[in-house]
Amino acid sequence: MSINPPIPFTAHTPEQVSFDRRELGTILRLYGQMVAKGEWRDYGIAALHDRAVFSIFRRTAENPLYRVEKHPKLRNRQGMFAVVGMDGQILRRGHDLAMVLRVLERKEIRSID
C-alpha cells in the first residue's frame, strides 16, 4: 500500500488586471480634454482580478457617467475594451482602445449642442 504525499499548499493570489501606460495615457488624454471643457470633474481607477475599470464622474460623490473597462478574457471575442454607460448599457466594445473611446467624444459633443 502506497501513501501519496500531501500536495504542497501554495498561496496563489489572483492576478490583477490593470491598464498599461499607453492605455492609461489614451484614456487620460480624452479625460483632460473633457475636464478642460467642464464636462467631467473626477475619475476613479479599479484594478480587479478579472478586469480594470476607469470610472468617469461629472461630480464627485455621484455614480459614474461612464466606465472604460478592460476585460482580457474577451480579447479573442468582441474585444477586451468596452465603454459602459451610467445605466450599464455597453456603448461600444472593441479591440482598439482609441476607437472605443471615440463614442465618448461624439456623445459629449452631441450633449453640448
Average pLDDT of the chain to the nearest whole number = 84
* Tens digits of residue pLDDT in 33-63: 999 998 899 999 999 888 999 999 987 667 8
pLDDT band at 30 (very low <50, low <70, confident <90, very high): very high
Pairwise CA distance, residues 104 & 68, whole Å: 10
Q: Assign 3-state DSSP to the chain and report helix, strand, coil percentages, each to 5.
A: 30, 25, 45
How much is the average pLDDT of 62-80? 89
State the greatest distance between any 2 C-alpha atoms of the chain, in Å, as a whole number.
81
The verdict on pTM exceeding 0.75 is yes
Structure-block grid coordinates of residue 48: 480587479
pLDDT band at 6 (very low <50, low <70, confident <90, very high): low
Query: Which pLDDT score is estimated for 113?
Result: 45
The SS3 call for residue 47 is strand
